[in-house]
Amino acid sequence: MKFSLSFKSFVAGAFAAATAVSASAQGEASYPSRPIRLVVSQQAGGSTDSIARLWAEHVGKQLNANVVVENKPGAGGAIAAQYVLGQPADGHTLFLAGVSQMVLNKFVYKPLAYSPEKDFVGVTTLTTVPFVLVANPNAKFRTYKEFAAAAKSAPGSISFASSGNGNSTHLVVEMLMKQTGVKMVHVPFRGEPDGVMATVGGTTQLMAPVFSTALPQIKQGKLVPLALIGEKRSPELPDVPTAAEVGLSGLDNIGWSGIAARTGTSTQIIEKLNAASQVFLKDPAVVQKLQSLQVLPMPGASGELMRLTVRDTAKWQQAIGDLDLNVKQ
């Protein structure tokens, strides 16, 4: 019996498609087939890096895989994001995605070299963290009220550090300046540890780092806490007022983080990673460790990360959308 060319082509195409589906299914079933890389856009040694390594250790055990943390700081996280997007969409290269990389970079890098909503898919939400406004002990203010008075009396005389232009540690202070009308000089660094040490050393007078990163320096008297940027006061520093208590608004829940994968990663792999992450976030030992870091666990479905991205884009657009923050990549 003879078959037409078109029929032969159809059969060949169907066979190729079936083979591709079978190979894809085998790949998903055997995932992970090699070490998983979790790319972090902050320096090693900061609070974000600590959380990443904790996740890597626990999820690696669950998946019977080696999970390696790679630090690629710079450009507000754009370097790390583009690195992840340059890898195959097979779940073996993941991105530790915080509010800075998923939301705030849109207001800083125009055009942004990647699209958070289009290029990434959520794996899981991880944590939410408070920040703290701190000052060098030799600065002429030891309370938020004294700081505000000093900043208003001498515009541009106070410098503040950040983890990079457009990072949440930068834009928190930009929002503060916008609400209070004060003017300060921004000094960006390549990561949170560098910014904190610059403030400890007096190169800069002010910073708003993650609370857990600043707390050891505060306890040693090397930094002075002015206001906690979170929903409520911390038992560690009960006398330090919240941002709302000193008259600042919109700074209650800004420091969330999660894990994202490149768009195109299979749903099965995403859900496998999400399931492992939920076990991690509900582990009593992990919860205790996160609490010691002044971090709150944030369990959630894989889609929650992108929901937060959309929600907070609108929030920050309203708050800082008219500021001239543009930086060329």
CATH of the domain at 95: 3.40.190.150
Residues 193 and 88 in one domain: no
Given this model, what pLDDT does residue 134 score? Answer: 98
Predicted pLDDT at 41: 93
- Confidence tier at 4 by pLDDT (50, 70, 90): low
33-88: pLDDT as tens digits? 999 999 999 889 877 899 999 999 999 999 999 999 999 998 889 999 999 999 99
Task: Flag whether 24 is in a domain.
Answer: no
- Residue 270 confidence class, pLDDT cut points 50, 70, 90: very high
291, part of any domain: yes
Q: Are residues 43 and 185 in the same domain?
A: no
Whether pLDDT at 15 is above 60: no
Q: What's the predicted TM-score (pTM) here?
A: 0.76
Residue 89 half-sphere exposure toward CB, CA atoms < 13 A: 16
> Is residue 25 in a domain?
no
- Please check whether residue 328 lies inside any domain of the structure: no
- DSSP three-state, residue 129: strand
Same domain for 225 and 149? Answer: yes
Task: Please report the pLDDT score of residue 72 as a whole number.
Answer: 96
Beta strands 185-188 and 159-162: pairing type? Answer: parallel
Specify the DSSP element, H or E, that contains 309: helix 304-320
Q: Establish if 104 belongs to a structural domain.
A: yes
pLDDT bucket at 11, cuts 50 / 70 / 90: very low
* Residue indicated by tokens 């921004």: 186
Asked if the model's pLDDT at residue 19 lies above 90, the reply is no
pLDDT band for 13, please (50, 70, 90 cuts). Answer: low
Percentage, residues of the chain above pLDDT 90? 69
Same domain, yes or no: 241 and 296 = no
Indicate if the pLDDT at residue 20 is higher than 60.
no
Please say whether the beta carbons of 298 and 128 come within 8 A. Answer: yes
Integer angstrom CA distances of residue 219 from 94, 137, 204, 213: 35, 12, 19, 11
Q: What is the pLDDT of residue 328?
A: 60
- Structure-block tokens of residue 130: 């408070």
Please report the pLDDT score of residue 261 as a whole number: 98
Structural domain range at position 156:
131-246
Residue 259 inside a domain? The answer is: yes
- Domain co-membership, 41 together with 116: yes
* Residue 17: pLDDT over 50: no
User: At residue 93, does pLDDT exceed 50?
Assistant: yes
Q: How confident is the model at residue 18 (pLDDT cuts 50, 70, 90)?
A: very low
Q: Do 76 and 49 sit in the same domain of this protein?
A: yes
Residues 118 and 264 in one domain: yes
Say how far apart CA 266 and CA 269 lie, in whole Å. 5
* Sign of the four-CA dihedral 93, 87, 270, 14: negative
pLDDT value of residue 300: 95
Is residue 12 a part of any domain in this protein? no
Same domain, 239 and 262: no
Read off the pLDDT of each residue in 8-27 and give the average, rounded to a whole number. 46
From 311, 219, 255, 270, select the one nearest 94 (Cα to Cα): 270
Residue 230's pLDDT is: 87
Q: Which of 246, 274, 302 is the last residue of a domain?
A: 246
- Averaged pLDDT for residues 7-30: 50
Number of domains in the chain: 2
pLDDT for the residue numbered 3: 47
> pLDDT (tens digit, 9 = 90+) per residue, 310-321?
999 998 888 777
More confident residue, 293 or 227: 227
**The predicted structure's pLDDT at residue 323:** 75
Indicate the residue among 218, 246, 274 that finishes a domain.
246
Over the stretch 278-311, which tens digit does the pLDDT of each residue have? 999 999 999 999 988 888 899 999 999 999 999 9
Q: Within a 10 A sphere around the Cβ of 280, how many other Cβ atoms?
A: 22
Q: Could you tell me if 162 and 210 lie in one domain?
A: yes
- Both 169 and 273 in one domain: the answer is no
Q: What is the reported pLDDT for 6?
A: 53
What does the DSSP assignment read for 78-120? Answer: HHHHHHHHTS-SSSSEEEEEEHHHHTGGGGTSSS-SS-HHHHE
Same-domain status, 239 and 260: no
CATH number for the domain harbouring residue 226: 3.40.190.10
Give the pLDDT confidence score for residue 2 in this predicted structure. Answer: 52
Q: Which of 228, 246, 264 is at the close of a domain? A: 246
Q: Note whether residue 189 is domain-resident.
A: yes
Same structural domain for residues 188 and 271? Answer: no
* Coil, helix or strand at residue 305: helix
